[in-house]
Copies of this chain bind each other. A is one copy, B any other.
Amino acid sequence: MPAGISIDRKSAVPLHRQLEEALRGAILSGRLSPGERILSSRELQTHLGVSRNTVLGALEQLHAEGYLVTTRGVGTFVAPNARALLTERKPKSSTQSAPSDRVERFAAAQSLTENFARTMPFRPGIPALDLFPTAQFKRALDPSSWTPAFLDYSGPYGHRPLREAIARRIRQTRGVVCSADQILITGGAQAAFSLVVRVLLNDRDAAVVEEPGYRIVRAALHANGMRIIPGHVDADGLDVASFRNKRAKLVYVTPSHQYPTGAVLSLERRLALLDWAAKHGAWIVEDDYDSEFNYTDRVHPALQGLGDGQSVIYIGTFSKVLAPALRIAYVVVPRALRAAFRAVQRVEGGAPDAIVQNALANFIDNGSLGRHIVKMRKVYNERRAFANAALSNLANLSLRVIDSHAGLHFIAELPDEIRDAAFSRQAASAGIVVPALSEYFIGKPWLNGIVVGYAATPVPSAKEAIEMLSRCG
């Protein structure tokens, strides 16, 4: 065929498109030269055995793009000015400029982010996804509410009914002092941390994180070039004394159920933290990620509601209470920061889609969320009690479970002679995800043990997994 043009009749690509691409390729590669006459449409039709419309379609397209010119009564030619343009375009190896300097930091921080492994026994931070209330959530989607106004660009700070539903809920269940206009909806808690970092911190500002602590927050701080100050965590939670004289612009804390130790921040420590923040003008970021689950019915209200509400940024998520796939979290910001948070969120692309936000608002408002939590609390408490008892009483492995009777996980200390990193690796190769506590430290770890996420693991699977674990180490 002329200039190696061929047609594949079995391809899903329409014939006229194939011809068009083949001709374009021949011109760009130089197999057809500028000024060269191409076969007439009739000739192409005959040679290729395609319909006249196919050929005319392809030629018209290439005319429109400027590859071909036709002189009436003479013929069709490769556009002569193509020479100047095309000969200059020597194929060269990529010499594009490098990505921004920050990419290197982000690349390094990646290892601290969520491990997107398959659900496996005891993986922390995952609710019981097999008990997801599919029928109720499907109903909550309510396609009858997808009006034109709803389908338009929605509120950049989040779907208003969802912000209202969240405000009503956390005022009652968590004592958070807020109104809906202080709430911004984000695509998950990680996006919320990124937003907080960008709104509050300049390059090289310092932030206190819990030691041991949540790795994803460290990732966001590292990636954005912040200095990180570890704040010591003990059985009463984050201890202000460990960083009292350091200058920091932000402190990140998980008061309800410290991640990963499970410690509950004592009242004394809460007040000390608020005082420290007020004295230093620092912001407190309260991550209340799994506070819905407390098996003692003795739960502290949020730190946010304890202070004057002006120094605490409160973060909540639906990943733990419903499912990570929903990618919905929220930030409650002090009034003084509202304009700043809104400006950044608006320019960076606004809130998640309205379809899922609307479903979640309905799901909260019709009581489904409350019922789901009550049901899950019972399930998780049984799983917690079983895992605690079974792990505490292993014949051949001495584990000390430290269980605060809250959240979706507890920790278990290993005997000194078994190092947690090695134990965790061994467990992983047996298909069980119990991360090593040493992984959650920035400095020298003072805990040697594992994090056990019991919530997503039914008792029979837990039984098997514990049997396997007892043979590790």
Contacts and interface: CB of A to CB of B under 8 A. Distances in A.
23 contacts: A12-B172, A28-B306, A65-B300, A66-B266, A89-B275, A94-B310, A96-B336, A102-B198, A102-B344, A107-B343, A109-B343, A110-B347, A119-B149, A119-B152, A129-B152, A132-B151, A134-B146, A137-B143, A151-B325, A152-B325, A194-B347, A326-B355, A352-B353
Interface in A302-355: 306, 308, 310-311, 319, 323-328, 334, 336-337, 339-340, 342-344, 346-355
A268 B123 CA distance: 56
A378 interface: no
A462 interface: no
A352 B349 CA distance: 12
A21 B146 CA distance: 40
A132 B146 contact: yes
Contacts of A277: 96
Nearest to A91: B308
Interface in A122-155: 126, 129-130, 132, 134-135, 137-138, 141, 143, 146, 148-155
Interface of A: 12-13, 17, 21, 28, 60-61, 64-67, 81, 85-86, 88-89, 91-92, 94-97, 99-103, 106-107, 109-110, 113-114, 116, 118-119, 126, 129-130, 132, 134-135, 137-138, 141, 143, 146, 148-156, 172, 175, 186-194, 198-202, 205, 219-220, 223, 249, 266-268, 271-272, 274-275, 277-278, 281-283, 296, 298-300, 306, 308, 310-311, 319, 323-328, 334, 336-337, 339-340, 342-344, 346-356, 359
Identical copies in the complex: 2
